[in-house]
Amino acid sequence: MQEAVLENKYVPKPAKIKEYHRESPDNFSITLDIKFKHDPGQFVQISIPGIGESPISICSYSGENLRLNIREVGNVTKALGKMKKGDPVFIRGPYGRGYPMQLLKGNDVVIIGGGCGVAPLRGIIEYIEHHRQDYGKVYLFLGFRSPDDILFKREMDHWKIKYNLNLSVDQLPPGTCFDGKVEFITKLVEATQLTNQNKVVFLCGPPKMMDIASGILMKKGFHEDQIFVSAERLMYCAEGICCHCMIHEKFCCKDGPVFRYDELKGYKND
């Protein structure tokens, strides 16, 4: 038996909300007063004592104030949504394997995101902004349910100028206006003339959208090892032991959440 002291990995660090910004009716971004080094695509466990913990992907750049984009769907996220500037939260992390940005230098980057799946992808965009010379062209395909649900509206104008931005909404409810396409984002991917040459694809969104998008990319000649997906699973421990996030033998919290497409090949949902 080893007698070395093991630290309690469940002890979170206290943090305060520095900035709160509502992105859409059910989505908001918070910036916290803590900073640490991390990779794009990694996540943290954010918690409110008495309510619980929730795994949230990081959408800021490493070393800057931690920023999280959160959709209000569960107990913790709904409680966070009601918080304001200065309120305390608890954080542990960063966890997981992020996007291998170092290895992918020199490539054009295709980013395909759906709904709140855009949050971890924002981390990549931030990364590219800081290392612009290392990457070629950047294509953004971002799809949302409706114009009200569009996230990162503040950043969107900036992205439109700097990158090849394709924005779409699934539906246009009566009384709303939108100057982009009203279509599934996967349709926009299908309609482009993208070839697989010197490209890497980062994909994140609802499971169905990821399936369809990867199918389209394959048809366009992309190889499985050019596509990186970010998977979503229920996670408690984030240390690879609670088993909730298992995708066959892979632990989403340890081996992922970012996987190269061929690593999950044939696994589907079970």
Partner 1 sequence: MATYTVRKLDLRSLLQKIMQSSELIAPVKTDLVRFQVVEDPHDICLTEQSFYPVKEFIFRKHEVLVSFNGKKVITPVLEPKERVIFGLRRCDLNAIMHQDKALIEVDVNYRAQRQNLTLIGYHCNEAPSQYCFCGTLELKDFYDMMFFDRGDEFIVDVATENGSRIIGKYPEFFRKSNHKVTEADKKIKNADRLFKTDISKLYDHPDWQKGVDKCLSCAACTSLCPTCYCFEIKDEVSIHDTKKVDRVREWSSCQLKGFSRVAGNHVFRDNRKERFKHRIYHQLDYFKKRYGINMCVGCGRCITACPTRIDFVDIINGMK
Question: Is residue 85 a contact residue for partner 1 (CB under 8 A)?
Answer: no
Question: Is residue 133 a contact residue for partner 1 (CB under 8 A)?
Answer: no
Q: Which stretch binds partner 1 (CB under 8 A): 60-68, 174-182, 209-217, 227-235?
A: 227-235
In degrees, rounded to 5, the angle at the alpha carbon of residue 73 between the alpha carbons of residues 69 and 76 is: 75
d(CA 123, CA 109): 13
Centroid of chain to Cα 92: 18
Burial class (CB in 10 A: 0-12, 13-18, 19+), 140: buried
Q: Which of 6, 103, 161, 177 binds partner 1 (CB under 8 A)?
A: 6
Q: Which of 33, 195, 241, 262 binds partner 1 (CB under 8 A)?
A: 241
Question: Is residue 73 a contact residue for partner 1 (CB under 8 A)?
Answer: yes
Q: Which DSSP symbol is given to 74?
A: S
Q: Smallest Cα–Cα separation from 135: which of 157, 158, 108, 155? A: 108
Q: Which of 185, 237, 253, 264 binds partner 1 (CB under 8 A)?
A: 237
Least distance to partner 1 from the beta carbon of 268, Å? 9
Q: Smallest Cα–Cα separation from 259: which of 11, 23, 41, 111? A: 41
Binding to partner 1, residues 137-196 (CB under 8 A): none
Q: Which stretch binds partner 1 (CB under 8 A): 103-111, 122-130, 175-183, 241-249?
A: 241-249
> Where do the DSSP E strands lie in the chain?
13-24, 27-35, 43-48, 52-57, 65-71, 88-95, 108-114, 138-144, 164-169, 181-182, 199-204, 227-230, 246-247, 250-251, 258-260
Least distance to partner 1 from the beta carbon of 73, Å? 4
Draw the binding track, 13-52, toward partner 1 (x: CB under 8 A; -: no contact).
-x--------------------------------x-xxxx
Nearer to partner 1, 7 or 179 (CB): 7
* DSSP-assigned beta bridge partners for residue 56: 44
Question: Is residue 7 a contact residue for partner 1 (CB under 8 A)?
Answer: yes
Contact 122, 64 (CB under 8 A): no
Least distance to partner 1 from the beta carbon of 31, Å? 19
Applying CB under 8 A, which residues contact partner 1? 1-3, 6-12, 14, 47, 49-54, 71, 73-74, 77, 88, 90, 207, 232-234, 236-237, 239-244, 246-249, 269-270
